[in-house]
Amino acid sequence: MSFTTTEPAFRFRQGTRPLLISMPHVGTHVPPALAARFTEEARHVPDTDWHLERLYDFADELGASVLVATHSRYVIDLNRPPDGASLYPGQSVTGLCPVDTFDDTPVYASNDDLPGDEEIAARRDAIWRPYHEQLQTEIDRLKVAHGTIALWDAHSIRSVLPRFFEGKLPDLNLGTGNGTSCDPALAATLLDIAKSAESATGYTGVLNGRFKGGHITRQYGNPAAGVHAVQLEMTQSSYMQETLPFDYLPDVAAGVQPHVRRMIEAVLAFVENR
């Protein structure tokens, strides 16, 4: 089957300070011809990282560049390697062009609707490649302008997903590729903020637990070259309704947002003092 889209692959706002915030899973667009092949459940794109632009609404004020996906991860997952290799060998994962949801239900109404190699390649060329080209271009620009920079990959996920982990996920899941994508001192500072959030307001935090950073964190993080990359996977229960209609809950979000902002400010302070 063929694939076309009329939507741009991303939205981008250029900032003034040495930080790029990437949001690869916030997109909800599915081209109509593709949506027609989805199940009714999948058309609601339930595995979206909902409302992160709103949660990070302080990013422009802090001078960060912001790169935001437009298409659903069900079209193509921008945080997977282009060849679809598993980031967590031996564990349950979804693919580059997912065929199942986080609840392990089908994305496509029938096997005849599944994407073949040619269609996957077309999606990669139309959406994955432009997003990653923009990522690299902005990283290169920031390095020229500032020397040492940071990449923050912003994510969220339902707090309980038996397919991937037992029990309830910690609220603030920091990933640094097991210590390879950013300076350990920065990781320690961020974990301290997460732990202080736990003691102050009850949010739990962990470093390199179930989520260690996806393709973006691992691919672009290179501390020796002055690029410090961190992924934050937040529980959606920290700021929104985890079931349909997936509403943003301002009163709930107001509790966790200051802690997220403190993390971003700590990242900026770290790279601006290198």
Which residues are CB-contacts of 80 (< 8 A; sequence separation ≥ 6)? 87, 95, 96, 214, 215
Mean pLDDT over 26-42 rounds to 98
- CA distances to 7, 76, 88, 211, 230 from 155, in Å: 22, 16, 17, 11, 11
pLDDT tens digits for range 44-86: 999 999 999 999 999 999 999 999 999 999 999 999 999 888 7
Q: Looking at residue 84, what is its pLDDT?
A: 82
Map tokens 């062009």 to a residue.
97
- Supply the DSSP string of 203-229, one letter for each residue: --EEESSS----HHHHHH-BGGGTEEE
Q: Looking at residue 35, what is its pLDDT?
A: 98
Token pair, residue 251, equals 């009163």
Q: Looking at residue 183, what is its pLDDT?
A: 98
Mean pLDDT over 231-236 rounds to 98
Q: Looking at residue 92, what is its pLDDT?
A: 65
Q: Looking at residue 221, what is its pLDDT?
A: 98
- Work out the burial of residue 154: count CB atoms within 10 Å of its CB; fewer than 13 is exposed, 13-18 middle, 19 or more buried: buried
Task: Report the predicted TM-score, pTM, of the whole model to 2 decimal places.
Answer: 0.96
pLDDT band at 245 (very low <50, low <70, confident <90, very high): very high
Mean pLDDT over 189-202 rounds to 91
pLDDT band at 2 (very low <50, low <70, confident <90, very high): confident
Residue 131 vs residue 93, higher pLDDT: 131
- Specify the range with the lowest mean pLDDT, choosing from 125-139, 179-193, 195-209: 195-209
Residue 95 near residue 77 (C-beta atoms within 8 A)? yes
Distance of CA 236 to the CA centre of its chain: 13
Q: Crossing angle, helix 250-272 and helix 184-201, to 10 degrees?
A: 150
Mean pLDDT over 143-151 rounds to 98
Across the chain, what does the average pLDDT equal?
Answer: 96
Q: Looking at residue 37, what is its pLDDT?
A: 97
Please name each of the domains of the chain with its CATH number. 10-272 (3.40.630.40)
Token pair, residue 131, equals 């997003």
3-state percent helix, strand, coil for the chain, nearest multiple of 5:
35, 20, 45
Q: Strand 19-23 to strand 65-69: parallel, antiparallel, or no bridges (unpaired)?
A: parallel
Helices in the chain by DSSP H: which ranges? 32-35, 40-43, 52-55, 117-123, 129-146, 184-201, 215-220, 250-272
pLDDT band at 271 (very low <50, low <70, confident <90, very high): very high
Token pair, residue 207, equals 């470093």
Q: Strand 227-235 to strand 149-157: parallel, antiparallel, or no bridges (unpaired)?
A: parallel
CB neighbour burial string for 164-198, b if at least 16 within 10 angstroms, e if fewer: bbeeebbbbbbbbbeeebbbeebbebbbebbbebb
